[in-house]
């Protein structure tokens, strides 16, 4: 429902000239910016999709309105000193209107488009870093051609709007190509991304932050474990990661951030590959905002990705990105069976008692099967023990483990 008129009457600021950071979108990322905003004496305002959106539950200034309506977003931005994003779906015409109004946007639309559109991203990154072999495909014939060139299976992706593996499909053989006809119909002439299926040894991610004045910082490279296309576990740092590869991927992410003039936090998801016995990488995709692969930093790093994002978009000096413990393990909590979730608070109380070192972050979201509703984090010295504790807590919250 479009909200017209002054959607925020008056945002109450901290005295002393501290700014208001506006976030378009009221999901869990905006929600997790609130604790560091308190720590930094900043005021957050969130343009939320609903009164009970994850961030609207914790940010007092959470007007409700559509992120794709120019007037609504303009009105919201007028109340803020800087504007950033909870997701990548704000349409180009809305971003252009804000830019024309002179709103300081971070990341800038000229950078953000490479995180919004996987075809634009592949085209831009090709000269900068190692990527899978790919092409834009507009027909089943072109998909077959790519498969013949790089070998089946190939991976077909919708360039925009995908998340958690939705919008990604593996095409195993030439015989499976005709099954993709509906994807081309839905693409309606916009083209799809087809790329080689990378034979990876594992998935890793690197998180960096860059400020408008060019200061940059990187966190340790992490391993991301996926189950059914959804990230279920993140291990920081990535176990047994070759030092040279760690430097190369960190340098690649910083190069991308610099070349694309990224401002704020950016995550680069990569595949680790074996190149004749030497570890290598190819870049999978970019996110220009705090990212699931960086949730471990809330409890596991001196400066969390959410604090760093706020610092970066305001061009404040960046914080220390070192880990607080030898290992941090983050487990995502996915929505499970309904009866269990009606009792989520009881489940939560049980876990607080069972594991006093466990940190649980639940997003206040309505539970749907498979939806990310929270995450758990543990830090310490013994990786195997930490992985067990995180898996137990996540499984207990999901209802797949009952004791």
285 binds ligand ADP (CB under 6 A): yes
Among residues 187, 226, 316, 380, which is the contact residue for ligand ADP, using CB under 6 A? 226
Residue with tokens 């010295």: 381
d(CA 285, CA 135): 15
Binding mask 85-124 for ligand ADP (x = CB under 6 A): ----------------------------------------
Minimal distance, residue 69 CB to ligand ADP, in Å: 25
Burial class (CB in 10 A: 0-12, 13-18, 19+), 205: buried
Q: State the Cα–Cα distance between residues 258 and 214, nearest whole angstrom.
A: 8
Q: Is 223 in the site for ligand ADP (CB under 6 A)?
A: no
Contacts of 343 by beta carbon, 8 Å cutoff, 6+ apart:
none
- The nearest distance, CB 395 to ligand ADP, in angstroms, is 21
118 annotated binding-site participant: yes
Q: Are 137 and 122 in contact (CB under 8 A)?
A: no
The structure tokens listed for 301 are: 């790093």
Per-position DSSP letters for 37-68, written without gaps between them: HHHTT-EEEEEBSSTTSTTTTT-SB--B--TT
Number of residues that bind ligand ADP (CB under 6 A): 19
Site for ligand ADP in 158-197 (CB under 6 A): 162-168, 195, 197
Q: Which of 22, 25, 26, 132 binds ligand ADP (CB under 6 A)?
A: 132
130 binds ligand ADP (CB under 6 A): no
For residue 350, what are the CA distances in angstroms to 255, 306, 336, 373, 403? 45, 28, 18, 18, 10
- Nearer to ligand ADP (CB atom), residue 210 or residue 372: 372
How buried is residue 74: exposed, middle or buried, by Cβ count under 10 Å (0-12/13-18/19+)? Answer: middle
Is residue 269 involved in binding ligand ADP (CB under 6 A)? yes
Q: Is 223 annotated as a binding residue?
A: no
Nearer to ligand ADP, 164 or 259 (CB): 164
Residue nearest to ligand ADP (CB): 198
By the rule CB under 6 A, 284 interacts with ligand ADP: yes
Residue 205 CB, nearest approach to ligand ADP (Å): 10
199-218: contacts with ligand ADP (CB under 6 A):
203
The two three-digit tokens of residue 335, written as one number: 């929505």
Q: How far is the CB of 88 from ligand ADP (least distance, A)?
A: 10
CB of 192 to ligand ADP, least distance (A): 12
Q: In which residue are the tokens 């009606």 written? A: 342
Q: Are 190 and 159 in contact (CB under 8 A)?
A: yes
Known binding residues for ATP are 118, 157, 195-198, 203, 284-285
Residues in the site for ligand ADP, rule: CB under 6 A?
132, 155, 157, 162-168, 195, 197-198, 203, 226, 229, 269, 284-285
């Amino acid at each position: 429902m479009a909200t017209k008129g002054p959607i925020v009457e008056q945002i109450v600021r901290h005295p002393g000239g501290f700014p208001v950071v506006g976030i378009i979108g009221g999901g869990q990322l905006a929600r997790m910016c609130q604790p560091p905003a308190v720590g930094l004496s900043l005021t957050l305002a969130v343009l939320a999709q609903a009164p009970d959106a994850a961030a609207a539950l914790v940010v007092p200034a959470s007007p409700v309105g559509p992120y794709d309506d120019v007037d609504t977003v303009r009105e919201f931005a007028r109340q803020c000193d800087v504007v950033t994003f909870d997701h990548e779906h704000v349409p180009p015409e809305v971003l252009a209107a804000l830019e024309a109004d002179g709103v300081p946007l971070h990341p800038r639309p000229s950078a953000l488009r490479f995180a919004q559109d996987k075809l634009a991203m592949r085209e831009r990154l090709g000269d900068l870093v190692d990527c899978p072999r790919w092409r834009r495909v507009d027909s089943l014939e072109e998909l077959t051609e790519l498969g013949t060139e790089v070998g089946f299976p190939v991976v077909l992706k919708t360039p925009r709007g995908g998340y958690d593996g939705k919008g990604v499909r593996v095409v195993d053989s030439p015989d499976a190509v005709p099954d993709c006809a509906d994807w081309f119909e839905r693409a309606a002439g916009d083209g799809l991304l087809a790329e080689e299926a990378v034979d990876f040894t594992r998935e890793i991610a690197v998180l960096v932050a860059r400020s408008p004045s060019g200061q940059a910082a990187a966190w340790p490279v992490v391993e991301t474990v996926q189950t059914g296309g959804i990230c279920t576990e993140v291990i920081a740092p990535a176990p047994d990661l070759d030092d040279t590869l760690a430097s190369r991927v960190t340098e690649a992410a910083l190069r991308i951030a610099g070349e694309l003039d990224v401002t704020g936090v950016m995550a680069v998801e990569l595949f680790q590959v074996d190149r004749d016995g030497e570890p290598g990488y190819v870049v999978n995709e970019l996110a220009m905002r705090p990212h699931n692969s960086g949730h471990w930093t809330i409890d596991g790093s001196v400066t969390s990705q959410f604090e760093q994002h706020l610092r970066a978009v305001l061009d404040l000096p960046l914080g220390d990105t070192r880990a607080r413990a030898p290992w941090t393990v983050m487990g995502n909590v996915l929505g499970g069976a309904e009866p269990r979730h009606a009792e989520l608070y009881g489940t939560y109380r049980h876990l607080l008692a069972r594991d006093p070192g466990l940190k649980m972050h639940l997003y206040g979201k309505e539970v749907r099967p498979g939806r990310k509703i929270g995450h758990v984090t543990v830090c310490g010295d013994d990786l195997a023990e930490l992985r067990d504790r995180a898996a137990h807590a996540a499984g207990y919250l999901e209802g797949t483990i009952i004791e």
